[in-house]
Amino acid sequence: MEYNGVTIDETYAEAFPTWVSRVIITAVTEEWAYKAAVEATGFATSAIGCPCEAGVEGFVPAEETPDGRPGYAILICAGKKKLKEQVVERLAECVLTAPTTAVFDGLPEAEERIPVKLHFFGDGYEYKKEVGGRQCWAIPIMNGEYVGEEDFGIVKGVAGGNFFIMGENQMAALMAAQAAVDAIASVCGVITSFPGGIVASGSKVGSNKYKFMSASTNEKYCPTLREQVEDSLVPEGVKAIYEIVIDGVDEESVKEAMSAGVKAATRVPGVVFISAGNFGGNLGPFKIELKDLF
């Protein structure tokens, strides 16, 4: 099919289950909440080499946060055990240390819960405090008091929702990827964990030549190898491909994000083809067809 004159491949994205924590970080101004959110979600592009996948979901206006201050929601995604460890470490090192911050559970309805006991940092000076109906701990620190919840909901979400943007040159594909990320930013419950939300070097599982590698370049999608690789999947005229990878709290939000992203990408001049990544359908329980996004 075509959309806005761009060919949409007859394929699907194959995605995987992951555990997801959603944390609301508030601060005195939007900017300071954002700085903490960015630090807390750094070095978290891909579970292949990072301790988790994480990203900034979006802005949460003051009237929707427990303490009436502006905030950002972040998602942290990993296996269950790793998730608890990562939420603790990232909040302890990157949010408790950040100016004027507070943290709140962003999944208060979730049945599954993890404890995040930062209050031990208070060395006995900490005390319980209710903020906006939430049971928090207040910890005396050098800039005053840190306030935070310590019981966080987690849900079984979806990792690896994705699509490929193919351009007649690199800059067309890149700007389309940016437009896609912009559009996805308006969707609740999802993140794009790679740098700027974009993957420049999509990978295949394992490696043909170097057996010690758990992932390597996906040569079938490398435009410079189009003539060299026998079964290249790079369409004629395509010079660059970016992958957008989406993690989310459920399949519905990942699908909504894919839809917003694909539509946005097709509006950028120089984009010629949209596809998606899968492993034949045998690995991941979620299959999101591109044709169902429209």
Site for a second copy in 144-203 (CB under 8 A): 144-146, 164, 167-179, 182-183, 186, 194-196, 198-203
Nearer to a second copy, 111 or 142 (CB): 142
CB of 17 to a second copy, least distance (A): 21
One-letter amino acid for residue 286 of the chain = F
Q: Which of residues 112-131 bind a second copy (CB under 8 A)?
A: 120-125
> Residue 83 and residue 279: Cα distance in Å, rounded?
25
Place of tokens 């979400």: 157
Radius of gyration in angstroms for the set of CA atoms belonging to the chain, rounded to a whole number = 21
Among 7, 17, 89, 129, binds a second copy (CB under 8 A): 89
Q: Is residue 17 involved in binding a second copy (CB under 8 A)?
A: no
> Residue 259 and residue 254: Cα distance in Å, rounded?
9
Q: Is residue 132 involved in binding a second copy (CB under 8 A)?
A: no
| CA dist list (Å): 268 to 170, 191, 202, 204 | 12, 22, 21, 27
Q: Which of residues 212-231 bind a second copy (CB under 8 A)?
A: 212-213, 215-219, 221-225, 228
Q: Is 122 helix (H, G, I), strand (E, B) or coil?
A: helix
CB of 186 to a second copy, least distance (A): 5
Count Cα neighbours of 224 within 13 Å in the Cβ-side half-sphere. Answer: 3
Q: Is residue 236 involved in binding a second copy (CB under 8 A)?
A: no
CB of 111 to a second copy, least distance (A): 28
CB of 218 to a second copy, least distance (A): 6
Q: Which of residues 39-78 bind a second copy (CB under 8 A)?
A: 39-46, 48-51, 61-63, 67-70
> Residue 139 and residue 77: Cα distance in Å, rounded?
27
